[in-house]
Amino acid sequence: MISARTFIGLGLALALLGFVVGVRDELGPGIRTASALAAVVPGNPPTPLQLRPLPRVTTLSYTTREGYDVLADLYEPPDARHGPAIVLVNGVVPEGRTYEPLVGFADGLARTGFAVLVPDALDYQNYRVFPEDIGALVRGFQVLQSRPSVDPNRVGFIGFSMGGSLAMVAASDPEIAEQAALVATIGAYYSLDAMLRAVTTSTVQVGDGHEPYQPDSYVWLVTRNTLLSAIPEASDQEALFHLFTLETPDPDPDVLPTYDLTGFGAPARSVYDLFVNRDPAAVGRLMDGVRGTMPGTLESISPDAHIERLRAPVALLHDRSDLYVPVQESQVIFDRLGGEPRARLAVLDVIQHAQLAELDLSPPVLLGSFLPGMWTLWQFTYDALGQLSAGVDAHQA
């Protein structure tokens, strides 16, 4: 249960936001923004948005261009007509579209006036991502555009963690690249190479060198499952899943002697060599080996292979001490897009990866980082939603 101290701290933060916003004569939109953020706080503290009518929630089913059936929940303001809309893309969690913080945020956004589509991924239940997940997001964007409640020129993406990276790739797709009004990401990666370097060598590239970085074991789980599932030979895929059962990218020492590695096909052997490598400088060469044996697999879900086609403005938010995706990844995206005004980057201490951090009410932290961080978070969200509401025409002008 959320503590009374947390409610007090949140109240202080929102009171400060309300005061500053009021001074700027932006009380209505500002409080709606703060209230939408409060919707993701555990315990769902009361906000002015809860006085607004409940959004209509409809479960839709649509078929992707690759022929997959996808379920998605659509949250619509009851009085919405030709309004802005968001495709909300979560990171890899098995609950999918029913993940409680995601539901709360979708509800909060809908109460502010946005239609929100929350699609399921193809197989988050097994902690993996498929290349076809991109086509599912593109189709979801188009489904959202077709709704009577939505202005098709004011539709964008908000993505959390890996969902932010997938959203960037989807927004770069030729079918919708000129139509996406915004991509906002929280804790996204730029390069799948960088993520595999992090999980296999416990390093992150900084400039021309490497620095220690130990990602959470969850990152290994998702990257392992995603890459192994792409191996075309079913017996090799099964064997590598059997070999790599540990919480680290080390083959199980009890299982390894039972396999003849020379019997693996080229795709499986290239993945094995990548997983057991611990030299950061060798990762690039090993990744090239994987790409050579499974062309298109890594590129399909890695923004670095698509960013040249991205036309929408991008808002990037990242935890300074992120243990899932190194903060350098958002910095690289920001730099590759040429910085402002094309892209905006906020690096904060008040979030932990893609969720609000646990509140510390000690005066030095509260005044030194929490309240300033909450103000930056509010400003980031306010500006991003405002940019999305302005639509495609605004950033193409």
Query: Domains along the chain?
Result: 4-190+312-396 (3.40.50.1820), 192-300 (no CATH)
- Confidence class for position 357, pLDDT limits 50, 70, 90: low
- Residue pair 147/115 in contact by the 8 Å Cβ criterion: yes
The mean predicted confidence, pLDDT, of the chain is: 86
Range 235-242, long-range pairs (CB < 8 A, 24+ positions): 236/264, 236/265, 236/267, 236/268, 237/268, 239/264, 239/268, 240/268, 240/271, 240/272
Cα(98)–Cα(346) distance, rounded to whole angstroms? Answer: 28
Residues 6+ apart with CB under 8 A from 59: 71, 72, 73, 74
Cα(268)–Cα(144) distance, rounded to whole angstroms? Answer: 39
Of 53-62, 145-154, 247-256, 355-364, least confident by mean pLDDT is 355-364
pTM over 0.85: yes
- Residue pair 274/290 in contact by the 8 Å Cβ criterion: yes
Cα(46)–Cα(38) distance, rounded to whole angstroms? Answer: 8
| Amino acid 215: pLDDT | 95
Residues forming beta bridges with residue 73, ordered by sequence position: 59, 118
DSSP 240-263: HHHH--SSSSS--TTTGGG--GGG
**pLDDT mean over 364-391:** 80
pLDDT digits (tens, 9 = 90+) for 135-186: 999 999 999 999 999 999 999 999 999 999 999 999 999 999 999 999 999 9
